[in-house]
Structure 1
């Protein structure tokens, strides 16, 4: 038996009015309407509305939407907070992602017909309730004037396609199949953890399903017979009408690769790119900051702490909506990119990303375990083992709250199954701003190989902070292949006396599903086998790291 904590809907806020919004198929979607207190004559007139559509309980403590709504209404906005279809008080099937385009359209249409609405709607939210903004924008409703998605992506939560015949694929997150077994199994949230030491996850999922006495539609669409239902019926979410977007990405958000993928797609759609604004902050998925005060580095924030968090979280959105929703001010006054130089507590502005003046710098791994500006001529190899019974542990207990733990990753580099490469000590500060990529030629004596690359900032005391990372899966791994691994984007100051370090490994567990070594499905597990992995050093296929430097010089 699994210990399951059921989280039902919290009491609705006394500041709101509960309504039911009928979708086109008759399903009733539960929402709370918050209106500004009538202190001035203009407050009683129809006004602008901010819509928040989420699966985590519109009234619950986790997302503190009532406090968010109170903050927005103090600025004169009407707020509609809605449980998405099948969640908490809303009717319908708990089927993640696929109904959000139509339900978003229908909800916006309902808002425009209310006496307190002037017909202008904006949207705000994080993660899944950032995704619902992309979906509503894709619906093409003309009343949607601006969106402010944070730490999210249009392909949020999508599992790796098992019918993909390409030699390289994404490495599957450990949370992918757990999400539909917890947050999207039924109306209530069901919190439970598998026994991560067993690793027969598919069997444990079936045990949980038997325990609940019914199957979950969201899980069954993905496993064991994968069906990826279209989440954007019209194709690309950026194919149609564009919406002004304030797009917030966190340097340490584990979902940041999804955000950056959308940035690249938007650049290929001029109508979207014309009013796409980036904001890049030193945060993780749960909005913990690198420079968080120790007293605030707690998972269960008090109401006082949440209220203190709201201005830094919501004020950039309010400033953006003043221009694009209320028509006050000029869009030219809003910087196209606002970004943090992590490690300095600075927010900077630029017209492009990467900023003008940034340049690429490449460093090469050596057989001696160093990072050099000279590519070794001679070809050698470094090898390590991947033992499914002794996996490289994930450094943070919760991948979504990496900066809550703020782990020292130096001990990971002491393991025999992790290759380590160190750069020289810096004699002056160096500012990094832009993409980081690794080029590796690898192979394995097993059929499938996962290759994890981690870039670390090592302090003089020996502690190591992860500042970039990437991973890729190689199939038919007995045949060597050169991989280009995207480590994401970075805005970070390396301090004098620090050094860069790279870790190379084949697991990061339980954040990512580990390979059993046999090529079998890692969710189902089964028999295991230790693999010997090989990395090429030097020559034309040299292991290299390319960074983007804005200021200073890497030795």
Structure 2
């Protein structure tokens, strides 16, 4: 096929897609005399003025309702004396449901050293770093419901506010407070922003949700059972967490920890089945929670967040799951000072960018917090707000910046489904594909079972897909409902399939489109509320429109773009006998996938890092 002919119709504005200096990891304390501040590079602005090791202490902090939360405080030491530094410094803290002290299930690994973002590396540059257990979890007192979303409960809504203001008043704090963390601890930063603590100046949330329903119930495909159900004979989740809880320093006989664990009685792990965005949970005891997906979504609090004045540097990875879209919607809906970086790798993955390109996310944390918490004019906020990695880009041009997202120069190109084919040519003849639903499709397989496969001819030239694909799929089924999953993959000439989690899904009965309550980037929006449920009419062609996870990747000449249509997502209910489904591809029912195509930047960056640079 002639992709070149399509690209020639684009109006390209390359000035909006510029290359920045090399992203090689450079120690922020380099003493060469140069001053460089650019993504991944920071020289001459900030020095490691304290010792490499640090002092850690712990205590309880009392919230406004009397509940005590456990906090670890990591403070720098003087290089010469080894004494704890008393100079008031900025404070970075994490509000976590995953154990303030130990990362994962290992008491060998401190959270500040091993959790994504590894903020302990910033202590020697003149920061205090703290971690706090959510109320009702680990060593903190109180009651938790919803586990890693428990900060949205009524009693917990202002815990982050109270911790922030407590930190600001300590003798070792200069009153400038920031937050860090990924996944649920990225979401807890969003929650903190909704209450706007006066001393919270800047946050660095990674891989967080913007609309929680889209993460927990993507495409309206609700789980068949409680995803946190405990197998018979296994310890309850709360019991496993309690066993890993670390007492605070003053609790020499363990009595405080014992009392805190007693306080955890009645923990509600999950809201159970909450299939619609406007559903109520029958398990939560907090009546004020109401519609949980709405209550716990940052998108619900846009006015409060935008009024907070808190600067944000958001981060996400291309190979993420349902958390991936969150930061893209956030940066388009927040009016605060914001930045966004998109790296290669999976969820909360800081190692892959370092291994592939030498890029170190902690350098970005240091640049950002130096600017907002120390007042160092390093130019970070003068840069383009978006910085992203492109898979398969020419060496030296893998990282680029843009002044907006989606990229202003993207051309949305329609690829129509044909007989096993994807083509920019609209269908002219009747056509359809029929299959029996199977439940075993796995992305990245050469010959996937249980899926209908459509591929372009081998490409004449490289093309770059950067942005948010979407699909308009005409289907019918012998059943009155069904789940439809679209996956875009790269097929090499030897048949090797590469997947970067470029996937979207939709439950057919939830297909009704609506006006979005926020900037949805022009993508199809579904309210997913109970009154919108519309069963399929068996045998009647119906159009499904839904978005696909964003990506930036180059498909090389000779490769093929593959679209796999499968019929099961996580949570799909098996039906016996299996329904038969039909995908239509004719002039009256033109099924098509819409790809965001942008021009390829081929100019190398001088001194660009080589692949596989040591971490």
TM-score normalised over the length of structure 1: 0.75
Q: Post-superposition shift, 1:189?
A: 3.4
Q: Equivalent residue for 1:264?
A: 329
Work out the CA distance in 2 between the residues paired with 1:180 and 1:322.
44
SS in 1 for 2:100: coil
Give me the whole-angstrom Cα distance separating, in 2, the residues matched to 1:220 and 1:434: 33
Structure 1 residues not aligned, in runs of 5+: 1-12, 162-167, 192-213, 297-307, 396-407, 518-527
The 1:506–1:436 alpha-carbon spacing in structure 2 relative to 1, beyond 3 Å, is same
Structure 2 residue runs of 5 or longer lacking an equivalent are: 1-52, 244-264, 275-280, 285-290, 510-534, 602-615
Residue 286 of structure 1 and its aligned partner are, at CA, apart by 4.1
Structure 1 pair 255–180 and aligned structure 2 pair: CA distance change class (3 A): farther
**1:477 aligns to 2:523 (yes or no):** no
Partners of 1:432 and 1:33 in 2: how far apart? 44
Is the CA contact 2:470–2:545 (under 8 Å) kept in the aligned structure 1?
Answer: yes
Alignment of 1:370 onto 2:421: yes
Matched, 1:446 2:486: no
Separation in 2, partners of 1:437, 1:140:
35
Counterpart for residue 532 of structure 2: none
Corresponding residue to 1:328 among 342, 356, 376? 376
> Which residue of structure 2 lines up, in the alignment, with residue 45 of structure 1?
87
Which residue in 2 is equivalent to 1:146?
A: 202
Determine helix, strand or coil for the equivalent of 2:368.
Answer: helix
Q: Which residue of 2 aligns with 1:7?
A: none
Please give the per-residue CA displacement for 1:438-471, whole angstroms capped at 9, x wherever unaligned.
1101121112210000000011221111231100
Note the C-alpha offset of 1:159.
Answer: 7.8
Shift in Å, 1:43: 5.1
Q: In 2, are the aligned partners of 1:86 and 1:187 still within 8 Å (CA)?
A: no
Given that residues 203 and 311 in structure 2 are in contact (C-alpha distance below 8 angstroms), is that contact kept between their aligned partners in structure 1?
yes
Residue 70 of structure 1 corresponds to: 120
The answer to whether the Cα contact below 8 Å between 1:243 and 1:275 also exists between their aligned partners in 2 is yes
- From the superposition, tell whether residues 75 and 180 of structure 1 become closer, same or farther in structure 2 (CA, over 3 Å): farther
Q: Does residue 24 in structure 1 map to residue 64 in structure 2? A: yes
After the TM superposition, which residues 58-207 of structure 1 pair with which residues of structure 2 at under 5 Å, given as runs? 58-62=100-104, 64-67=110-113, 68-96=118-146, 97=149, 98-99=152-153, 101-156=157-212, 169-172=219-222, 177-178=227-228, 185-186=237-238, 188-189=240-241
Aligned to 2:99: 57
Distance 2:372 2:225 in 1: 36
**1:333 and 1:435, CA in 2 relative to 1: closer, same or farther beyond 3 A?**
same
Q: Please give the per-residue CA displacement for 1:243-271, whole angstroms capped at 9, x wherever unaligned.
A: 211111211110334515xx335534xxx
Q: Given the alignment, which residue of 380, 402, 406 partners 2:431?
A: 380
Q: Is the 8 A contact 2:92 2:130 kept in 1?
A: yes
Greater RCO structure (CA 8 Å; 6+ sep)? 2
Q: Is the 8 A contact 1:448 1:515 kept in 2?
A: no
The equivalent of 2:519 in structure 1 is none
CA distance in structure 2 between the partners assigned to 1:103 and 1:219 by the alignment = 20
- Pick closer, same or farther for the CA change 1:470–1:364 going to 2, 3 Å: same
Report the 3-state secondary structure (helix = DSSP H, G, I; strand = E; otherwise coil) of the residue aligned with 1:237. Answer: helix
Deviation at 1:437, TM superposition (A): 0.8
- Do 1:238 and 1:266's aligned partners in 2 also have CA atoms closer than 8 Å? no
2:411 is matched with 359
Separation (CA, whole Å) in 1 of partners of 2:203 and 2:589: 44
Q: Which residue of 1 aligns with 2:548?
A: 487
Distance across 2 between alignment mates of 1:453 and 1:60: 39
Structure 2 counterparts to residues 268-283 of structure 1, below 5 A: 268=333, 272-283=334-345
- The 1:234–1:486 alpha-carbon spacing in structure 2 relative to 1, beyond 3 Å, is closer
Q: Given that residues 226 and 273 in structure 2 are in contact (C-alpha distance below 8 angstroms), is that contact kept between their aligned partners in structure 1?
A: no
* CA distance in structure 1 between the partners assigned to 2:228 and 2:202 by the alignment: 32
How far apart, in 2, do the equivalents of 1:380 and 1:138 lie? 51
| CA apart distance, 1:33 | 0.2
Residues 49 and 491 of structure 1: CA distance in aligned 2, closer, same or farther (over 3 Å) = same
Confirm or deny: 8 A CA contact 1:121 1:145 kept in the other structure. yes
Mapped to 1, the partners of 2:168 and 2:545 lie a distance apart of 48
- The corresponding residue for 1:225 is 282
CA distance in 1, matches of 2:477, 2:352: 37
Question: How has the CA–CA distance of structure 1 residues 221 and 356 changed in structure 2, closer, same or farther, with 3 Å as cutoff?
Answer: closer
**What CA deviation, in whole Å up to 9, does each residue of 1:12-40 have, x standing for no partner?**
x9831011111222111111001111349
In 2, Cα distance between the equivalents of 1:32 and 1:286?
22
1:502 to 535, 560, 563: 563
What is the deviation of 1:145? 0.6
Q: Pick from 581, 588, 591 the counterpart of residue 533 of structure 1.
A: 581
SS state at 1:248 partner: strand
Deviations for 1:481-513, whole angstroms, at most 9, x for unmatched residues?
Answer: 2111211211111122211011001014xxx01
Q: Distance in 2 between matches of 1:338 and 1:42?
A: 37
Partner Cα separation in structure 1 for residue 366 and residue 352 of structure 2:
24
Is the counterpart of residue 255 in structure 1 residue 314 in structure 2?
no
- Corresponding residue number in structure 2 for 1:5: none
Q: Distance in 1 between matches of 2:581 and 2:562?
A: 20
Q: Which moved more, 1:373-382 or 1:13-22?
A: 13-22
Residues 52 and 123 in structure 1, CA contact (< 8 A), matched pair in contact too: yes
Contact 2:224 / 2:573 at 8 angstroms: preserved in 1? no
Q: What value does the CA root-mean-square deviation take over the aligned residues?
A: 3.4
Q: TM-score, normalised by structure 2?
A: 0.68
Deviations 1:135-166 (A, max 9, x none): 001111111111111111144477868xxxxx
SS at 2:144 equivalent: coil
Aligned counterparts of 1:292 and 1:123: Cα–Cα separation in 2:
23
Q: Rate the CA distance shift 1:148–1:552 in 2: closer, same or farther, 3 A.
A: closer
